[in-house]
Structure formats: C-alpha cells, structure tokens
Amino acid sequence: MLFTKPTKLLFVGDSITDCGRDYQANGIDLGSGYVAQVQALLSAHHPDAQMCILNTGISGNRVTDLELRWDTDVLAHQPDWVVLMIGINDVWRHFDNPRMEQVSLEAYSAKLERLIQRTLPEVKGVIVMSPFFLESNLGDPMREMMDLYGTASRVIAERLGQRFVDVQAAFDVWLAHNESAQLCADRVHPNAIGHTIIASAFLNAVGFNW
C-alpha cells in the first residue's frame, strides 16, 4: 500500500467529504460518508497500519473557499498525506446560482494547482480525487462541464507527479447498469452505496490489499 506507518491522512473538500461531520471536533469526527468508510476498511484489513485519519471537508465549499482556510484546516494539522476532492460546487453554482461570482475553469485550474504546490513541500504527497456528477448522459450540460473540471484536476495531478483518483469513472461503471436515482435525488449527494464506490476507488488507487 502507498502509505508507510505511522501516517496521518487528511481529507479535505466539500459536502461529499464533510458528510455531516462535527465541525467542533477539529477533524477527528469523520462524518458518515466515504472518509469514515476508508477508515473502517483500513482498520479492518490493515490493523497494523497505525493511521490517523482526519476530515476537514465543509459543505458548499469551492476551490476559492479552500484557499481561505488551507493554512488552518490543512497545513496546521501537519498531515503526511492530503486527499483533495473539490470542484462539484465550482460547477454546480453555474447552474443553480448563476448570479453569484463564478469560478471559471481557468480559475479553478490555477487555484487548485497553487494549493497543491503550496502543500507539496510539507507532505509526502497529495492525492487528487476528481469531482463528479451522477449523470450517464454525457451531453447533459452539467455533466459536460463537470468532465472539463475533472479533466483539469487530472492534468494538474499528473503534471505535479501526484496520484489521481478518477471518481467519475468509478461511478460511470456503476451507472452503466443502474439509474442515478438509486444513488441520490440530486445527482450529487450519494447514499451509502455511492460513498462505498468513492471509498473503493480511493483505496484501489493507493494499493489497498482487499
């Protein structure tokens, strides 16, 4: 597996990462989503891993929000690895709140790359997870835009030599056989099945031994 022991692994992002965590717990409360599933699977299958997992995701965040809180919510925890999933709200706000100031693809790319570059001197690595949209119609306008932001996150991760987790691709495999309504109503916030897909994609990408 990618991680040596002991390891402090910090997950940061939006509501998909947050998933109801207690903000007063200083990252220790992992919420009820994929981060908690990752922790449970690592503990069950690798009891000797000596891993400390933190969750500092905040619902509604865009990359601009991460910029403002990166020092206190990421670097201050002194993690060994940072796992970053951001971009869903950067895209979604173009559709559900077009009057607010938007994060363009160019701005998203530039800000994401700067955050990773700032972090790399302080950690062993940054693992970038793609944003996603639970829609199998590739011509859907929001799916089209999400794919562009997801591709940008991949390009940045690869250019900086960091590991990339294609969460959208993992969902697409499932959506080839099932309807997105079986995962969620809004095509963004998945149920436990969806969070298991995310957790599995992450663990596969880091060489987890099932």
Q: What is the set of active-site residues?
A: 15, 186, 189
DSSP string, 26-82: TT----SSHHHHHHHHHHHH-TT--EEEEE---TT--HHHHHHHHHHHTGGG--SEE
11 burial level (CB within 10 Å; 0-12, 13-18, 19+):
buried
* Contact (CB, 8 A) for 149 and 103: no
What one-letter code names the amino acid at 189? H
Cα–Cα distance for residue pair 33/191, rounded to 1 Å:
8
